[in-house]
Amino acid sequence: MTIALLSHVPLDAGYPERFAAAGFTLHFATTPGQRATLSCELAQQIQAVLTIGSIGLSDAEMATMPQLEIICAQGVGYEHIDVAAAKSRGIHVTHGPGTNNSSVADHTLALMLAITRRIPQFDQAVRGGEWNKARWNVPGMAGKKLGVVGLGNIGALIARRAAGGFDMAIGYHNRKPQADTAYTYFHSVTELAAWADYLVVATPGGKNTVRLVDAAVLRALGAEGFLINIARGSVVDTDALTASLQSHEIAGAALDVVDGEPQVPPVLLTLDNLVITPHVAGRSPESVENMLALVLDNLSAHFSARPVLTPVPE
């Protein structure tokens, strides 16, 4: 008998067959509407859930799935999975640390260059026949100061690329200083922003980081500063960011995540000092393979009565 697996995310070509070969029957609920209207009959069959941090699984949803044994977050984030509720129900929760680090770091540098050098605007201008806009004077990125909010695995990769490839000075803010880095530690995000030319948000999402980047931080970043968010949309106060961009209180922003995504506030789409991508920083053929192979390994381990490989931290 196969194992009923509910996926909150669509799977690239070839992966449904790999899950089937591993003994899983896939069911999909990839939209809020599909998840809200999941039939009681199907819910009672589900033994495993594949999700992502920005979707997650609530206690109420778990309550409808009496056979549920394991929840696998595809990437590193699990902020909307009610881990405490899962633990109380004896449900294992896993995630994918390290599976998409390189892809996210690459995308971050691409966003930094795109907003600094106005790549999308130049592309649009040339396609519209405005070749003379190529004479616009735009800044460079080399030798500037990069502030990283959250110097974890991904933040460290971003810092390494920026320092090694662009000779950037690196500062960071964590809950406490790291002993094994030569980068400059700042005690608050506001102090880091006041120092930095670029403020990259790479901290985990969740209740402890909601609106960590607020109006005061953006004021500190200043008129020549750029904000880049590849973490979670909830970490940045969207209203404050919109106001800062409209008034040119900061030079620009580049976002791969937006609070409330996939809905994007229409006002953001009118701003020419903003570059936005649809939460794709962690996606590449390599990272997708890393993430889904680890999900399969965790699922196979659990249903073979072996310890899972990457449980979420207690």
Q: Tokens standing for 33?
A: 């509407």
Q: Which of 69, 261, 283, 289 does the annotation list as catalytic?
A: 261
Amino acid at 265: P
Q: Which of 92, 118, 161, 279 does the annotation list as catalytic?
A: 279
CA dihedral 298, 299, 305, 309 (to 10 degrees): 0
Q: What is the DSSP letter of 226?
A: E
State the Cα–Cα distance between residues 41 and 4, nearest whole angstrom: 12
Q: Which of 8, 161, 232, 302 does the annotation list as catalytic?
A: 232
Using alpha carbons only, give the angle 96, 71, 297 rounded to the nearest 5 degrees. 50
Number of H helices, E strands in the chain: 12, 12
Residue 134 contacts residue 158 (beta carbons within 8 Å): no
User: Is 314 designated active site?
Assistant: no
User: Is 27 designated active site?
Assistant: no
Residue 47 backbone class (left: φ over 0; alpha: ψ -120 to 50; beta: rest):
alpha
* Residues designated as active site: 232, 261, 279
